[in-house]
């Protein structure tokens, strides 16, 4: 029902493809008791777009599968004190798995979406590339889509800017040309994260503890905070920011000022790397000391930074004493 997916369909039609729409229902707002039912608004928008484009619209329901494959795992991660991103899991286990499978069963040759990303064929397989509009690039959300799925996907708007997409929609008479883009986690939308989360978990209250070891306040739930977030601590001239969490006693470590050294890191340990091409790229080998030079993002809206990825050739860096499960004596200095 959004402008991006509508224009994706429009472009494929212009290229001579037979296109039909699929509306995927993953979340039932009615069961949640939400006053607004955004799903129904989205469905009506999808119907209008398909009518304008002369396409059939098929509705599919993956509410139960989404709950099992994505939401329950999201809650489990949150309850450990982590901050998982369910949109990545949704793309891997629902949209580019169950939805792709359903589309193929309905007779499609490929699944096209409105993601701002691009694909390129290479001897090593289908490569996932950033969208041309770097401000809207969504390759981050596709980083866990497996190679077999990418081979059956199309991203028609990946070579467009958002402004160009809206212009094409206006020219085609699509009602959603100026429709507001979706925001936030798919099942939360524009609601407050903390209010939503407390419907499903019992938060762990505790204290705000400065990196200098001083108790400066108390909070209602460790799970409601993530590293880098501004903490709600009143009575200070300078803001405090979350730099770590201790699940065992509910401590949220904070540092004052947005440029505090505790907010920055020069290294990190990662596990379970996922390669969209199924195999690591040639410059990277598990014990290659030179490593792989690349860009990284820890969050979607973060500006890309440069890094070197190395295999486990030696001992991993010691965890920060502020890292989750690192413990108060995990390291002598911040990493």
> Would you please indicate which residues are annotated as catalytic (active-site) residues?
90, 186
Q: Which helix (H) or strand (E) holds 117?
A: strand 117-122
Number of alpha carbons in the 13 Å side-chain half-sphere of residue 278: 10
How far apart (Å, rounded) are the C-alpha atoms in residues 187 and 237?
36
Rounded to whole angstroms, what are the CA distances from 164 to 7, 45, 132, 195? 10, 20, 11, 36
Which residues does 53 contact at the CB level (< 8 Å), separation at least 6? 6, 9, 10, 13, 19, 172, 174
DSSP, res 315: P
Contacts of 68 (CB under 8 A, 6+ apart): none
* Whole-Å CA distances, 321 to 106, 211, 245, 325: 53, 10, 10, 9
Q: What does DSSP assign to residue 230?
A: B
Find out whether 144 and 95 touch, Cβ atoms under 8 Å: no
Length of the chain: 335
> Alpha helices, DSSP H only, in 172-312?
193-197
- Rounded CA-CA distance 26/23 in Å is 10
d(CA 143, CA 301): 15
Contact predicate 54/172, CB 8 Å: no
């Amino acid at each position: 029902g959004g402008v991006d997916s509508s224009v994706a369909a429009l472009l494929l039609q212009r290229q001579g493809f037979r296109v039909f729409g699929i509306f995927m229902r993953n979340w039932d707002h009615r069961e949640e008791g939400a006053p607004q039912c955004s799903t129904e608004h989205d469905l009506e928008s999808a119907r209008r777009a398909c009518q304008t484009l002369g396409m059939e619209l098929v509705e599919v329901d993956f509410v139960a599968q989404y709950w099992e494959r994505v939401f329950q795992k999201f809650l489990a991660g949150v309850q450990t004190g982590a901050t998982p991103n369910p949109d990545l899991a949704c793309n891997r286990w629902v949209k580019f798995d169950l939805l792709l499978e359903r589309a193929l069963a309905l007779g499609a040759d490929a699944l096209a979406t409105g993601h701002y990303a691009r694909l390129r064929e290479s001897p090593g397989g289908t490569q996932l590339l950033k969208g041309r509009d770097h401000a809207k690039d969504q390759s981050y959300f596709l980083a866990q889509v497996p190679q077999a799925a990418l081979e059956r996907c199309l991203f028609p708007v990946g070579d467009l800017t958002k402004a160009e997409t809206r212009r094409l929609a206006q020219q085609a008479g699509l009602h959603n040309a100026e429709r507001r883009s979706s925001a936030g986690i798919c099942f939360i939308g524009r609601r407050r994260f903390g209010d939503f989360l407390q419907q499903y978990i019992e938060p762990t209250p505790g204290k705000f503890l400065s990196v200098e070891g001083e108790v400066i306040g108390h909070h209602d739930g460790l799970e409601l905070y993530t590293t880098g977030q501004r903490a709600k601590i009143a009575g200070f001239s300078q803001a405090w920011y979350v730099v770590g969490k201790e699940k065992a006693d509910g401590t949220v470590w904070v540092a004052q000022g947005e440029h505090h050294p505790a907010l920055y890191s020069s290294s990190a340990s990662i596990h379970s790397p996922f390669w969209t091409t199924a195999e690591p790229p040639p410059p990277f080998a598990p014990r290659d000391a030179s490593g792989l030079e690349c860009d990284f993002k820890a969050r979607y809206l973060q500006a890309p930074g440069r890094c070197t990825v190395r295999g486990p050739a030696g001992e991993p860096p010691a965890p920060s004493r502020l890292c989750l499960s690192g413990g108060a004596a995990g390291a002598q200095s911040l990493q």
